[in-house]
Each structure stands twice: as structure tokens, then as C-alpha cells.
Amino acid sequence: MHRVRISLIHAAITAMLTLGATAILTSIAYASSVLAFIGLGLVFWGAILLYIRPEEYTKKVLLDAALSPSLTTLNEMIQEFAYKGDAIYLPPKYFAHPGTTKIYVSKRKDASLPTPEEIQKLQNQPVARTTQGLLLTPPGIHMARLLEKSLGTSFIVMDLENLQQKLPKCFIENLEIAENLEIQAENNRTGRKTDGTTSPLLMKNTTVHAKITKPIYENKSKETKDSRQSNALIGCPISSAIAIAITRAAGKPVRITDLKNSEDGNILEASYEIIEG
Amino acid sequence: MNFPLSFWDTSLLLAVTAIILLITSELVSPYYGKTNLIINKKRLRNIALAVSILFLITVAIRIFDIITSA
């Protein structure tokens, strides 16, 4: 037997609108200003409730439970294939389609970044994997698109300064992803050098720090040491979305250098490095 | 069979509603961390502003009325 589910808020809205309309009609018939006030008030608040009624929400625990396995699989896959390099978020200039952003994980730790032509060749393969590197879709790609949709513009047309101003509003007010977001960019004049190599990964870089307070998604990967190490490479959907935003705005490859979760899970701190090519 | 409320009664109703909505909108703003209320806060803010503007229009009409009748 089909069970009809009556939502409390819908029942309240219907009751308010019906009673309000009845009160207004009665007030006209009996010329009662009190009834008119009551009627107008009920209709007005009923209409407001109807307009501001909750959007479709899901419980936070469900979100955490649904996201964790796919992130774990991604990390396990990288570990299984023994890709030791950093996860580099590649800007759209590396791809044929301008809206594309992907993660490149190199096989060796200090390998240099491939050229856009090599990446496009790799992208066209059924499994975007070679002995040199692996191409992955970032976990925050859809969140980044949602942020762009909410901002009404693409990150590509923004610069880093613009991003620092607009992204917190989008995070806090528009999508309510977190209670607060602080983004700070700083230029590092000294680059890291080993063995005298001229790898692009080791040149002087710009660092971006993001502090996310009370994010909707709590990174559970801190439970085990291994998963934490892997997750620091790619990031959770929120930190990944910020990485995509930075790489698109800067037009340069970006890597997540640090990802810290507070003990209570209320503060997520991520550091990003813009790799100067 | 006339509607018993005058234009100024409606103006008063709009003023009271606007104050309530503006205060509520400010209190549930995500910037203050009161994000537990599951309503569309952007729409609430928009409607609060719309009602406030409607009230201000009635005030403008009142002022225009006073100026022209003098």
C-alpha cells in the first residue's frame, strides 16, 4: 500500500494560506479590519514560507560516507601503481578543451612536467596512464564547476587576487560549503634545488594558503597513516576544488603541498604551490 | 463590500514585516555561523529587501502626498 508522506512544512504553508484567504474574504464581507490584518499576515507569511522553504539537503554523515570510498580507491590506485610523484593540477592550457582540468601524477618523485602535447596524447588513450605518469579527474571537479556557476563566471578569466576576494563569499554565502574561508597568497623568492636539475617543479614558486573553517565535508582519511599520506597529494573534494580554482585562475600547474585537519575536524588547512613554468 | 484596510494600514503591515524579515535575515546569515536553520537564506534576504523597498515606496508616496497637498 502506498503511504502518503505529509511534510509538516507543506501542511503548515497550506493551512496558513487557506486560513489567510478565508480571513481576508470574511473581513471584506463583515468589514472587519482585525480579520483583514490577520488574513493578510497569514497569507503573507504563508507565501514567504513557501518561497524560502528548505532546498534539498542531505545529512552530513551520508555525504562523508558516500565520498570516502571513492577517495580511498583513488589513493589505493596510486599506491598500487607505485606512482611516487606529486599530484599536479594541470591548467586548461594543457588540454584541447578549455574547461578541462586534470591531475597528473608522475611515476618518479622529481620528474619534470610533461608538455601540453604529451598530456593531450596521454589524454586520448583509453586509460590515461603511461610508464611516466597518470592522468586523473580531480575529486573536486564538480564542486569547482558549481563554484563557477555560483560566481557566474569562469576561474579562467579571473586572476589570483580576484579569486582571493570572490571565493570566500561563494564558499560562505552562496553555497555554504564552510563557515569561513581565508585565502592568502605569498611569493617565495627561494626555490628548492636538488642535484642541480632544472626541473620546473623546483623553480621559485607562489604559495597559497587556504584555511577552511567548519567545512561540510570532514576528511576522514586521517584515520590511517597511509591514506593520509596519499590523500595529501590529491586532497579532499573541497581542497581539490580550491586547487582547481587556483590552477585555472593562475593558468599554471598547482600542487597541494600540505593538508592539515584539526583534531575535531572543524578546521582544514591546505597549502598550494603554483609551479612557475 | 470594501476591503477594510487603507493604504496606510498596509504600509504599517509592510513596515512590521520588513523589520521582522530583516532582523531574521541578519541573524541567520552564514557570516555569523548560524547555519543550522535549513532555509534558503538568500531568498529570505531577497524577500526582506523587497518588502523593505515596498515599505519605502509607501513612505515616498506619503511624502509626495504631503508635498503636493501643501
What is the pLDDT at residue A216? 80
Same domain? For A82 and A185 the reply is yes
Same domain? For A136 and A217 the reply is yes
Q: ipTM of this model?
A: 0.78
- Joined together, the cell numbers standing for residue A28 give 471584506
What is the pLDDT at residue A24? 92
Determine the Cα–Cα distance for residues B44 and B21; give it in Å rounded to an integer: 7
Same domain? For A124 and A30 the reply is no
The answer as to whether A156 is a domain residue is yes
Same domain? For A161 and A269 the reply is yes
Same domain? For A121 and A184 the reply is yes
Residue A265 has pLDDT above 80, yes or no: no
Same domain? For A15 and A69 the reply is no
pTM of the model: 0.73
Average pLDDT value for residue range A66-93: 80
User: Is A218 within 8 Å of A60 (Cβ atoms)?
Assistant: yes
Interface list for chain B against chain A, based on CB atoms closer than 8 Å: 1-5, 9-10, 13, 17, 21, 29-31, 33, 35, 38-44, 47
DSSP lists the bridge partners of residue A271 as A209, A258
Residue A197 has pLDDT above 70, yes or no: no
Q: pLDDT: is A66 or A127 the higher one?
A: A66
Question: How sure is the predictor about A191, in pLDDT bands with cuts at 50, 70 and 90?
Answer: very low
Number of domains in chain A: 2
Same domain? For A193 and A247 the reply is yes
Q: In chain B, what are the domain boundaries?
A: 7-69
Q: pLDDT: is A189 or A212 the higher one?
A: A212
Pairs from A69-73 (Cβ < 8 Å, separation ≥ 24): A70/A139, A71/A139, A71/A221, A71/A231, A71/A234, A71/A236, A71/A237, A72/A221, A72/A227
Q: pLDDT: is B35 or A135 the higher one?
A: A135
The answer as to whether A131 is a domain residue is yes
Beta strands in A22-94 (DSSP E): 87-90
Percent above pLDDT 70 for chain B: 94
Question: How sure is the predictor about A277, in pLDDT bands with cuts at 50, 70 and 90?
Answer: low
Average pLDDT value for residue range B37-52: 87
B53's CB contacts (< 8 A; 6+ apart) are none
Average pLDDT value for residue range A254-268: 84
Burial (CB count <10 Å: 0-12, 13-18, 19+), residue A160? middle
Determine the Cα–Cα distance for residues A39 and A34; give it in Å rounded to an integer: 9
What is the pLDDT at residue B60? 95
Same domain? For A118 and A168 the reply is yes
Same domain? For A165 and A222 the reply is yes
Cβ-based contacts of B2 with chain A (< 8 Å): 28, 31
Tell me the pLDDT of chain A averaged across its residues. 79
Determine the Cα–Cα distance for residues A62 and B39; give it in Å rounded to an integer: 20
Residue A39 has pLDDT above 50, yes or no: yes
Buried b (16+ CB within 10 A) or exposed e, A241-267: bbbbbbbbbbebbbbbbebebeeeeeb
What is the pLDDT at residue A115? 79
Question: How sure is the predictor about B33, in pLDDT bands with cuts at 50, 70 and 90?
Answer: low
Cα A98 to chain centroid distance, Å, stands at 19
Percent above pLDDT 70 for chain A: 82
Same domain? For A42 and A135 the reply is no
Question: How sure is the predictor about A231, in pLDDT bands with cuts at 50, 70 and 90?
Answer: very low
Average pLDDT value for residue range A193-207: 54
Angstrom distances, CA of residue A147 to CA of A71, A141, A258: 21, 10, 23
Domain range for A14: 8-52
Percent above pLDDT 90 for chain A: 11
Interface list for chain A against chain B, based on CB atoms closer than 8 Å: 27-29, 31-33, 35-37, 40-41, 44, 48, 51-55, 57, 172-174, 176, 179, 214
